Amino acid sequence: MACVYIPVQNSEEEVRVALDQLPKDASDILDILKAEQAPLDLWLIIAREYFKQGKLDQFRQILEEGSSPEIDDYYADVRYERIAILNALGAYYSYLGKIETKQREKEEHFILATQYYNKASRIDMHEPSTWVGKGQLLLAKGEVDQASAAFKIVLDGDHDNVPALLGQACVEFNRGRYSDSLELYKRALQVYPNCPAAVRLGIGLCRYKLGQFEKAQQAFERVLQLDPENVEALVALAIMDLRTNEAAGIRKGMVKMQRAFEIYPYCAMALNYLANHFFFTGQHFLVEQLTETALAVTNHGPTKSHSYYNLARSYHSKGDYEKAGLYYMASVKEVNKPHEFVFPYYGLGQVQLKLGDFRSALSNFEKVLEVYPDNCETLKSVGHIYVQLGQADKGQEFLRKATKIDPRDAQAFLELGELLISSDTGAALDAFKTARTLFKKGGQEVPIELLNNIGVLQFERGDFQLAQQTFEEALGDGIWLSFINDEKKSFVDAAASILQFKEMQLFHDLESNGHHVEVPWDKVTVLFNLARLLELLNKSGAASILYRLILFKYPDYIDAYLRLAAIAKARNNILLSIELVNDALKVNEKCPNALSMLGELELRNDDWVKAKETLRAASDATDGKDSYATLSLGNWNYFAAVRNEKRNPKLEATHLEKAKELYTRVQEAASGSVFVQMPDVWINLAHVYFAQGNFALAVKMYQNCLRKFYHNTDSQILLYLARTHYEAEQWQDCIKTLLRAIHLAPSNYTLRFDAGVAMQKFSASTLQKAKRTADEVRATVAELQNAVRIFSQLSAASNLHIHGFDEKKIETHVGYCNHLLSAAKVHLEAAEREEQQMRQRQELARQVALAEEARRKAEEQRKYQLERRKQEDELKRVQQQEEHFKRVKEQWKSSTHSSKRRERSDDEDGGPNEKRRRKGGKRRKKDKHSKSHYDTEEIGEMIDEQENEFEDADINYREPDAQINDDDGAEENAQGLLAAAGLEDSDVDDRTAAPSTISRRRQALSDSDDDDEPLQRHSSPIGENSAYLQDSDGEVKDRGRTNEDFASDDEKEN
């Protein structure tokens, strides 16, 4: 018996406390511990014992009292025990938060655990046990990275800390790093070989995740050796037994699951697997109980997802799709990605598909395909959804993919064939045949529906013999064989009752004779299709017996009544047909097919009032949605408008407009469906347009119908089209259309007669024109000749009385055509003469136009030459001016160089200016002014010469209407050109009184010729250029005055 001893304060006595006899009220123990100031480790021992005994309130009371502020103050020096108490409380609340299912209470427990761990850290922040506790708390909260950081803090200080190793192993397992987790578990086991069995459980789970199933099984079995009641190990071993998919393994696994459930009834995983087992055994009550319990005891997302999935499957199998959808949705919400658990997505897609939510179902099935892209069932479901959404091409794509993945899936080929019926009957038939072959190879019975579909497709393709064989294969043996094959009619003579469409005595006689007359319900449709085939093969007697056989066993089969009525109608027995349709209406008085057929029969019986009421009732029975009933009502309005009685224009227009409205409604309804092809609607609508006189729309409607439904190869519609052209007086189009029809039906002599009439009418209308060309008359002659030839052929044929033509009428047409032909020749001669005169007038006008055009071109050429000559003269003048500028520039450069050489020679010889140079600076200044004076004189002479040359150029090149008489303007222009050419004087700024215009220089030259001679002789640098001196008198005068000033200055100096 375990006991603890509490020392009595200030005494050697001790209080003995038996741990197995702890009081229910922990206050007694707390009073002793406080009174005797017992060590804190005793507090921990007693609290742990309460926990082991399941007395959690006492456990929490002792630890909370041991961590109170009073205790902290009294035991301030005791660090480790205080930290241990706080960590125990933190671990306790971490556990409560981990197992709590309600989110609010869970968060409250985690907050308390965090507070206790933080308080422990304030006592000693480096305590490893506190960090391990924090790591466990973070792991329970799902904060894996922060938990790993906490464990690593401990492991950095102590690599062999077993709790930290186990915590880090859990972290790595949750991260999916099973190899790293396994190494940490093994390392913990090496450090502390006496670890609890749960450590080996972790090793087994890592082995299982790594695919090492044998070693995982060994680890789990070792756990059971150490702890025979370890529920997790039992569940793990049970799952491994169930994975074998063998009867023995499944039995062993369920035994282990049951044992785990008995040990601990709240293990969610065991509950889920037991629920899965009972689902397959059909015990849905147990499934619901177990899954609801599992949902109540766990908060683990994947586990809850499995529980919701089991519950959804149970309701799904019972047909409660609303609840099943809710639980499938709940299962989906508990998983993050489809890869974690994909089955609820598939189940949810099935339920949504059943409820008609195709787009949501498609979304879920596509998620299944992300995980299992080759799952044939999902591919078939997706294909079916796309068909329902109107995307048949995508549906075919997925079904074809399913057939490629599993070529032995007969159901996939069957669904593919059903999908292809509307678009490609040949491919649909091949798919059905493949499915039939696969069923036979698999030893399965071929479904009757599949054989019926094959027979119908063969029937539509015209393979009547194959279709009959397929229908007979689907029917198998039965009483019907005696009516199908003549050789099997030995025991019954049905010939007497073939024409008795309502006679059922035959089958009563067969039963009285001991024959078994039975038609299984799943073969009725096949039997009806076989009868329809026999009817098409002109075996209406056998077909009528099969229809009556169906009615004998199933009197409410309306289609059989209607087919019997159709047979009677084909034999022109209208009254019997009406009686049979009335029998069908007794079964269903609002059957639109029966009402439409009755209205048509009444119309043929000339009972217009009843026919209208019946057809209107047929249309009202389907709220105007039955196209055939609406079409029949439109036909009634059309016939009412065009019948041969005395017509009322207003009433006729009303009937035609109503017929057009009804036909248009049927046409619009048929155009939106690939299953309905109603060319008669287009033809009738064109008839209405024709009757209304709207020939353009009638032509367009006939042409569209001919192209859309008959590929332009129906002679009857071509005849309708030709009639419309004829009434619209479009003779050429009428003739062309009739010739096309004759090409398609060469034996139809009516078309030839119509063509001859059209040619005759065209010729007559052309000859009646006030103005006609020769080409039109020639075409008329050709058409008349063709018409005569056609009527002659028909006349020869009518002699044989084969085609029923009136010979006299044809001869009348021939005579009329010959008459027109003779008249056409006269018109042709007149037209040719008029055409010749017109041609001559046109030729004369053409020649006049050509002459006028030639004159105009000559005038334009002359103007062009004059303009071009002006441009060439202007260009030549500009080039000559440029050459003259270059020449003047060269002359100026050569004269400037020669004057400079003369000045240098005078200086060297010591001429008259030598004395002035000796007199000092002023003399040198005068020399400078003298030089400027000479330069100015030279430039003036050059300008005069340039002016004369420009005047000559102006005289030679000026225009007659632009004479230049202003000499001053020309001189200024010349000076500007010199400046532009770079010939201006660089010393011009140093002159004191230089004249500004050429006219002033000319005036100076005329006033003083004699006075300048000494100066000319004195000015040696330019003495040789007499031409310049004669043109620059003004400048010479100025230089004379300047020399006088210089002389007076010399005298003053002397």
pLDDT at residue 802, rounded to an integer: 56
Which amino acid, one-letter code, is at 55?
K
Q: List, in sequence order, every residue forming a beta bridge with 3; answer none if it has no partner.
A: 18
Q: What is the mean pLDDT of the chain?
A: 79
> Diameter of the chain by CA atoms?
185
Decide which of 964 and 105 is more confident: 105
Distance (Å, rounded) from C-alpha 786 to C-alpha 954? 89
In this predicted structure, the answer to whether residue 696 has a pLDDT above a threshold of 50 is yes
The share of the chain scoring above pLDDT 90, in percent, equals: 25
Structure tokens at 258: 């049951």
Binned at pLDDT 50, 70 and 90, residue 867 comes out as very high
In this predicted structure, the answer to whether residue 957 has a pLDDT above a threshold of 60 is no
pLDDT tens figures, 22-34: 888 888 888 888 8
Burial class (CB in 10 A: 0-12, 13-18, 19+), 499: middle
Decide which of 1016 and 538 is more confident: 538
Decide which of 994 and 377 is more confident: 377
Mean pLDDT on 918-937 = 42
Mean pLDDT on 442-452 = 90
pLDDT at residue 968, rounded to an integer: 46
100-104, 120-124, 160-164, 379-383: which has the minimum mean pLDDT?
A: 100-104
pLDDT at residue 1012, rounded to an integer: 40
pLDDT tens figures, 614-646: 888 887 887 767 677 777 778 887 877 777 555
Binned at pLDDT 50, 70 and 90, residue 563 comes out as very high
User: Where do we find the tokens 């202003």?
Assistant: 966
In this predicted structure, the answer to whether residue 1037 has a pLDDT above a threshold of 80 is no
Mean pLDDT on 803-816 = 75
Which amino acid, one-letter code, is at 644?
N
The share of the chain scoring above pLDDT 70, in percent, equals: 80
269 and 291 Cβ atoms separated by less than 8 Å: no
Binned at pLDDT 50, 70 and 90, residue 984 comes out as very low
pLDDT at residue 485, rounded to an integer: 66
Q: Which letter, b or e, does each residue of 434-457 get, where b requires 16 or more Cβ atoms within 10 Å of its Cβ? A: bbbebbeeeeeebbbebbbbbbbb
3-class DSSP assignment, residue 550: helix
pLDDT tens figures, 122-165: 888 888 999 999 998 998 888 889 999 999 999 998 888 899 99
pLDDT tens figures, 272-314: 889 988 888 888 888 999 999 888 888 788 889 999 999 999 9
3-class DSSP assignment, residue 4: strand
Closest residue by Cα to residue 634 from 600, 660, 601: 660
pLDDT at residue 949, rounded to an integer: 44
906 and 930 Cβ atoms separated by less than 8 Å: no
Burial class (CB in 10 A: 0-12, 13-18, 19+), 514: exposed
- Taking CA atoms, 565 is separated from 149, 510, 561, 1037, in Å, by 90, 25, 6, 146
Q: Is the pTM of this model over 0.95?
A: no
3-state helix, strand, coil in the chain (%, to 5): 75, 0, 20
Burial class (CB in 10 A: 0-12, 13-18, 19+), 980: exposed
Closest residue by Cα to residue 429 from 412, 417, 441, 419: 417
In this predicted structure, the answer to whether residue 939 has a pLDDT above a threshold of 60 is no
Burial class (CB in 10 A: 0-12, 13-18, 19+), 978: buried
Give the residue ranges of DSSP H helices in 425-501. 425-441, 448-461, 464-475, 481-484
Structure tokens at 488: 């099997």
In this predicted structure, the answer to whether residue 490 has a pLDDT above a threshold of 70 is no
3-class DSSP assignment, residue 675: coil
Decide which of 4 and 324 is more confident: 324
Distance (Å, rounded) from C-alpha 504 to C-alpha 920? 167
pLDDT at residue 921, rounded to an integer: 42
222-231, 672-681, 833-842: which has the minimum mean pLDDT?
A: 672-681
pLDDT at residue 424, rounded to an integer: 83
381 and 365 Cβ atoms separated by less than 8 Å: yes
Most confident by average pLDDT, 64-73, 220-229, 483-492: 220-229
17 and 4 Cβ atoms separated by less than 8 Å: yes
Mean pLDDT on 861-865 = 92
User: Where do we find the tokens 């123990």?
Assistant: 29
Distance (Å, rounded) from C-alpha 985 to C-alpha 463? 118
3-class DSSP assignment, residue 14: strand
Structure tokens at 796: 């020869």
Mean pLDDT on 198-209 = 90
730-734, 748-752, 989-993: which has the minimum mean pLDDT?
A: 989-993
